[in-house]
Amino acid sequence: MERSRFLVSITLLLLQYSSIGTVGAAQTNITTDQSALLALKAHVTSDPHNILVNWSTTTSVCNWAGIVCGARHLRVASLNLSYMDLTGTIPPYLGNLSFLVELDLRNNSFHGTLRHELSYLHRLKFISFGFNNFMGSIPSWFGSFPKLQSINLRDNQFSGSIPTIIFNLSALRVISVGSQQDD
């Protein structure tokens, strides 16, 4: 009897400790996501509709405009800032959003090159950078997204050809490049 109580006590203690550890890990991970998104906000030079006004440490990341967190890991799964009239560049820290599945920045005025650090986003299924002012060559690291289903790069200032490695992606269903002038 005494031994049973001891085992139950130890089991409950371990369960309590493991749940505390899990909460701590989730806070650390969401803090990483928060830092990456605050870096993006810092790189936005124009936000005429004050879309990013609630992006602050006083509000949960999962309640920020354009953000959807996954239910399972409580990490940022979707970043959708499409059609928000934002101007700015992409910081390297966006590559720290390791649970990101959807990245939609279309129809804004983002510019510069697509940072190599974005290649760390291996869970991406949907990417839309269409109708911005990105330049440079289309990065070959797009070919390192095994789950990628759709990529929109239309109406930017990209030069060169589409890296052939992109066409080896077995999940890829939609690729949109070119410009309205090509239509």
pLDDT recorded at residue 3: 52
> Of 82, 39, 44, which Cα lies nearest the Cα of 61?
39
pLDDT recorded at residue 183: 52
Distance, in Å, from the CA atom of 180 to the CA atom of 73, rounded to the nearest integer, reads: 39
pLDDT recorded at residue 25: 41
pLDDT tier at 12, thresholds 50, 70, 90: very low
What average pLDDT does the chain have? Answer: 87
Answer whether residue 20 shows pLDDT above 80.
no
pLDDT tier at 2, thresholds 50, 70, 90: low
Mean pLDDT over 102-123 rounds to 97
pTM: 0.82
The CATH homologous superfamily for domain 31-182 is Ribonuclease Inhibitor (3.80.10.10)
Answer whether residue 23 shows pLDDT above 70.
no
pLDDT tier at 179, thresholds 50, 70, 90: confident
